[in-house]
Amino acid sequence: MSYQELIHQMNQSMLAAESDRVALLRHILDQLGHPESKYHIVHIVGTNGKGSTGTLVGNLLMNSGEKVGHFASPAIHDDREQILLQNQMISETNFVTTYEKIMAKLTVEFDMSSLSIFEWFVIIMLQYFADQEVTWAIIEAGLGGKLDATNAINAPLLTIITHVDLDHTAILGNTIKMIAYNKSDVIKQNTTVFMAPNQTDDTKQVMVNRVIERNAKELIDSSYVSVKIQRENLTGFDLQISSHYLDNVEFHFDMLGEFQIDNLQTVIAVYDWLVQNNFGVGLQSLKETLTTTKIEGRMQVIHHQPTVILDAAHNPDSTKRLISSLKHLYPTENLKFILGFLQDKNYLEMAKLYHTISKEIVVVTPNNSKRALSASRLQKEIPGSQIAVNAQIGLEMLIKQSGPNDVIVVTGSFYTIKEIEA
């Protein structure tokens, strides 16, 4: 069958909140002989920062000569972007071939519709990476930790906890402590755990307790990494970094957004561990990684005069961090926004945050028929906002209304910025 036919047959339901899913996936991996045991795994969970942290760690390993697979969601252009080998997405042929190989190994009574499409992507990814003989796999959790499909894997070599905050509260809990506990469930025996800086006390305590409970090797708080910003502009950061294996080394970091510094500290902590444990990474590969890594949808400048920025901030925490970075980079410029949210997010708080810094806002309905918040509903929460049919039309509207020094930001959801990326 073709790739399109296979995707069409897959169960499109979102089953992440069902408690028996991980056990089912582990049973499937048992039948497959646990393909994920054939390579080193970095498992990444957290509310914000998974994509940037995962990409940087993956590129660091690739620049050190490793063969790296990377699993991340959601995709921007093509669903196959979720499964990357050396930063190239899986081909349609390899996707179908890997699926057929998996089905041939499973019991006769297994029904493909028993798994959601996201779960299928996880299982196919794990088998594909084994078949391609990757040496490392960077695996980002989709939603939460405890019930996430990626939690079916055997104990990874490394686990990274990025910044934890409120999101998906209906599923994960309505306090940061509850969410941290859910995400900490991915911590497994003999795993080294890294924690991003600037966590709440509740998050820190949950992670400490879980590491002890699960008999993980150690918990490394990346707050020990010192990053001094010498200069920040539209080309990124000039930094001076100190850590266990770096002594006031100067780097250029080719990303925008102060929130990326937290992610960078975590990556440097991983770098230190890799050096300490003789995994062959060096200073040159780190410098190359920081100067060449670019990530779509994270403070991504796509147009000048006026400046147009795409950012996938989709919860209050990432919204606050985005606004802080915009104020720092554009202290006097006129900020305008195109906003499109999902209805299962805390859109009321995000709308309020954007409205406090800008009165020129266009609202749109994201391209997700099941979860999108309608533009008409959002407009009621943002007095004076305009409605556009979609993000692309909204951008055309604001560009016509803007001067060369204005800054237009498209944000609110991956599904909103995808319309512009497309």
Q: How far is Cα 170 from Cα 167, in angstroms, rounded to an integer?
A: 8
Q: How far is Cα 391 from Cα 367, in angstroms, rounded to an integer?
A: 9
pLDDT of residue 7: 95
pLDDT of residue 389: 95
- Chunked mean pLDDT (size 10), the chain, 422 residues: 94 71 94 97 95 97 98 90 97 98 87 91 98 98 90 97 79 84 96 97 97 98 97 91 98 91 97 97 97 91 95 91 92 96 92 94 91 95 95 95 96 92 72
Residues 6+ apart with CB under 8 A from 346: 166, 167, 169, 315, 316
What are the b/e assignments for 23-61, b being 16+ CB within 10 Å?
Answer: ebbeebbeebeebbebbbbbbbbbbbbbbbbbbbbbbbb
The single-letter code of the amino acid at 74 is: P
How do the domains of the chain map onto residue ranges?
Answer: 3-292, 300-421
Q: How far is Cα 328 from Cα 174, in angstroms, rounded to an integer?
A: 31
- Which H or E element spans position 35? none
pLDDT of residue 17: 57
pLDDT of residue 184: 96
Whose CA is closest to 159, among 195, 119, 128?
195
* Domain range 3-292, CATH class: alpha beta
pLDDT of residue 170: 65
Residues 6+ apart with CB under 8 A from 362: 336, 337, 338, 339, 385, 386, 387, 388, 394, 397, 398
Q: How far is Cα 134 from Cα 39, in angstroms, rounded to an integer?
A: 6
Query: Please, which residues bridge with residue 146 across strands?
Result: none
Q: Which CATH number fits domain 300-421: 3.90.190.20, 3.10.310.10, 2.60.120.10, 3.30.530.20?
A: 3.90.190.20
This prediction has a pTM of 0.91
Counting Cβ atoms within 10 Å, is residue 231 exposed (0-12), middle (13-18) or buried (19+)? exposed
Task: Tell me if 421 sits within 8 A of 77, measured CB to CB.
Answer: yes
pLDDT of residue 373: 95
